[in-house]
A and B are shown apart, each in its own frame.
Chain A
Amino acid sequence: MLLALDTSTSFASIALVSDERPLASFDWYVGQRHSTELFTRLTWLLDSCSVAADALERIAVATGPGSFNGLRVALATAKSLAFALHRPLYAVPTLDVFAWGAAFASQPVWALLEAGRGQVYAAAYPTPCATPATWKPLDGYHVVTPAEVAARVSEPVLFCGEWRDDTKITLERLLGARARFAPSLTSGRAARLAMLAQGRAAAGVAPDDPAALEPLYIRRPAITASAKAPIRLGDHAQHHQTNGGEEATHALHH
């Protein structure tokens, strides 16, 4: 029995899979309520399948990119379940999960997810691919503008994931017939995540270390102006001292 969970975007997805056979999955619009809604849905899913928590044999989690708080909820949950149940944990980037839904396409697949500030998270995948254990982007995960995505595309591609209308319009304008769009994948994500995790386990790929696992934030934390230290008298004094300024050297005795 494997539990898969993905709360990396404003759509959340959870699934229970038994021996490669999906038992149940649940997808819902979670908005920013990842913390309050995940566990009530999770207990409902387990109860409705008559599965006790300690019957879970594997945990799978989507690691982002996505909402920072959504990723914290996903990873804190997956890490803690794996830790308390002593079960293996399989971590899969969210864009890999998006793209796996189009793994059998005949043209290259790009997974996209809105990143805010006019940018998208993006990754390109070679297709077709039938082996979950080797499912990886061609050259990593990026945070770029839609125009920068278009600039990297030379042949017809299939876009999948979650995007806003203006992102799609920009790509269509720049790429014309080279851009095709899969239906926006807001459901079934955890079931695909489970397939990727089961595929890795079956191929003998080692599980991830729950303690060391980090989300795929891609973006560094923004250090806001309010968090920056204001001008410090001590710093000024030290600065003057290095310049040999006489008035400052005796202005402060530490």
Chain B
Amino acid sequence: MLILGIESSCDETGAAIVADGRIIHSNVVASQASIHEQYGGVVPEVASRHQLSAILPVLETALAEAGATWSDLDGIAVTYGPGLAGSLLVGLTSAKALALARNLPLIGINHLEAHIYANWLRTNDTSASPSTAIAAADGDHQPGDPVFPLLALVISGAHTELVFIPHHGRYELLGQTRDDAAGEAFDKVARILGLGYPGGPAIERAALQRDASIPHAYTMPRAWLPGTYDFSFSGLKTAVLHMAQGAQVGATADGANRYMREGAAAASQGGISVPNLAAAFQESVVDVLATKTLRAAQELGVRQVVLAGGVAANQPLRARLAADLAPLGIALRYPPIAFCTDNAAMIAAAAYFHLRLGERSGFDLDVRPGLQLPFAAVGS
């Protein structure tokens, strides 16, 4: 089954052609990151306008690179949420028009579910089974696919969720962030440190430059929220801000907290090291995410853990989780970096598992900027 996927939820315009939810025939992404960098974040109206300019060139390239014609396709898949309304509208409307023009099934895809299904994509397996073999496979499991029951850590600029997935299509929410998403914290801290946008890669790069010879091992707080699988990152972000403020204006005698004083002290002893502070922040985020994920994986007895979302590209997080899970015999899976950030191949991958069950979307499908994963009540 050959599916054209379309992704336009934020500032990336993507089109991809994927066979059987796994085998990538083409994957094209046009990014606006350099445009939004000057604003320190995505400006919705600017993003929406660029989506409309990019959509046809991206579609054209995806079809050409796959060597596919319209008659080769079995369906059109498109993100309908969550995301920016104006941006989502471009991809969804385009998908409807393509489905109407070529008389193809249309399927709206939840962007968060697609991030999880990025783990089904194969990137280096050119000898993958032909289409018919996969379609005939019992339960549609192929060697190399993630193995249920799964634990998914969904981490992006807007989401931080720990999700138990016993089988295709069932999502049980174990915990989520109570304030900032992990990716949001990376963006905000990168902004405070003057490291630019997007913040995740910027902080990861900066942390690699950390200077072990600087005596200050900045310790950043960790919000454990005991007894829950919930997360909180706003206190951590504020600690970084206070440290930077302390370094810049000095700690005033009263009202200054520990991090301001630490910042002021560091400034007087040669200055705060931005790479070291970035590394300390990153360590704190990774520590909390990894610890809670490990505990959930043990408690639920999952066989594999999958990472999903833009922050899944973070190498220290991958390394830490893989090392923690290995002694338990639990495999950590994550998509290659290109499939962690927004792309259309993951949309087509998720769509396969819906289309093969006969699911279709109507032409009245609307964008859903605040869409969540379709969580089932735990125990139901």
A contacts, CB < 8 Å to B = 33, 35-40, 42-43, 53-54, 68-69, 72-73, 75-81, 83-85, 210-211, 214-215, 217, 221-224, 227-230, 232-238, 247-248, 250-254
Give the Cβ gap from A62 to chain B, nearest Cβ, in Å.
15
Q: Mark B265-289, 1 if CB is under 8 A from A, else 0.
A: 0010011111100000000000000
**Contact sample, A vs B, 11 pairs, CB 8 Å cutoff:** A42-B100, A54-B103, A68-B48, A80-B101, A84-B97, A217-B49, A223-B46, A227-B41, A233-B244, A238-B194, A254-B274
With contacts A81-B97, A253-B273 taken as known, whether A211 is within 8 angstroms of B57 at the C-beta atoms is yes
Q: Is B56 an interface position by the 8 A CB rule?
A: yes
How far is it, in angstroms, between the C-alpha of A165 and the C-alpha of B49 when the chains are bound? 31
Contact A81 B101 (CB under 8 A): yes
Give the Cβ gap from B66 to chain A, nearest Cβ, in Å.
15
Contact A79 B271 (CB under 8 A): no
User: In the complex, what residue of chain B is closest to A230 when comparing beta carbons?
Assistant: B191
Contact A211 B271 (CB under 8 A): no
Give the Cβ gap from A59 to chain B, nearest Cβ, in Å.
10
Contacts of A232 in B (CB 8 A): 40, 191-192, 194
Contact A229 B191 (CB under 8 A): yes
Contacts of A83 in B (CB 8 A): 56, 59-60, 98
Give the Cβ gap from A247 to chain B, nearest Cβ, in Å.
7
Among candidates A40, A234, A250, residue contacting B195 with C-beta atoms closer than 8 Å? A234
Contact B56 A237 (CB under 8 A): no
Among candidates B89, B245, B272, residue contacting A73 with C-beta atoms closer than 8 Å? B89
Q: Is B256 an interface position by the 8 A CB rule?
A: no
Contacts of B59 in A (CB 8 A): 80, 83
Contacts of B86 in A (CB 8 A): 68-69, 72
Contact B55 A80 (CB under 8 A): yes
Q: Mark B232-274, 1 if CB is under 8 A from A, else 0.
A: 0000000000001101100000000000000000010011111
Contact A72 B39 (CB under 8 A): no
Contact A77 B45 (CB under 8 A): no
Q: Is B333 an interface position by the 8 A CB rule?
A: no
With contacts A36-B365, A221-B49 taken as known, whether A233 is within 8 angstroms of B102 at the C-beta atoms is no
Contacts of A214 in B (CB 8 A): 52-53
Give the Cβ gap from B370 to chain A, nearest Cβ, in Å.
16
Q: Is B375 an interface position by the 8 A CB rule?
A: no
With contacts A84-B97, A233-B192 taken as known, whether A39 is within 8 angstroms of B89 at the C-beta atoms is no
Contact B89 A76 (CB under 8 A): yes
Interface size on B, residues (CB 8 A): 58
Give the Cβ gap from B302 to chain A, nearest Cβ, in Å.
39
Contacts of A227 in B (CB 8 A): 39, 41-44
Give the Cβ gap from A246 to chain B, nearest Cβ, in Å.
11
Contacts of B56 in A (CB 8 A): 79-80, 83, 210-211
How far is it, in angstroms, between the C-alpha of A75 and the C-alpha of B41 when the chains are bound? 26
Q: Is B367 an interface position by the 8 A CB rule?
A: yes
How far is it, in angstroms, between the C-alpha of A222 and the C-alpha of B49 when the chains are bound? 12
With contacts A35-B366, A43-B363, A252-B274 taken as known, whether A80 is within 8 angstroms of B98 at the C-beta atoms is yes
User: In the complex, what residue of chain B is closest to A222 when comparing beta carbons?
Assistant: B45
Give the Cβ gap from A143 to chain B, nearest Cβ, in Å.
15
Among candidates A53, A73, A211, residue contacting B93 with C-beta atoms closer than 8 Å? A73
Contact A221 B46 (CB under 8 A): yes
Contact B48 A72 (CB under 8 A): yes
Contact B45 A68 (CB under 8 A): yes
Among candidates A53, A217, A224, residue contacting B101 with C-beta atoms closer than 8 Å? A53
Give the Cβ gap from B318 to chain A, nearest Cβ, in Å.
25
Contacts of B366 in A (CB 8 A): 33, 35-36
Contacts of B194 in A (CB 8 A): 232-235, 237-238, 252, 254
How far is it, in angstroms, between the C-alpha of A211 and the C-alpha of B30 when the chains are bound? 14
Contacts of B270 in A (CB 8 A): 250
Among candidates A33, A35, A38, A84, residue contacting B70 with C-beta atoms closer than 8 Å? A84
User: In the complex, what residue of chain B is closest to A71 when comparing beta carbons?
Assistant: B52
Give the Cβ gap from B72 to chain A, nearest Cβ, in Å.
13
Contacts of B49 in A (CB 8 A): 217, 221
How far is it, in angstroms, between the C-alpha of A221 and the C-alpha of B244 when the chains are bound? 33
Contacts of A234 in B (CB 8 A): 193-195, 274
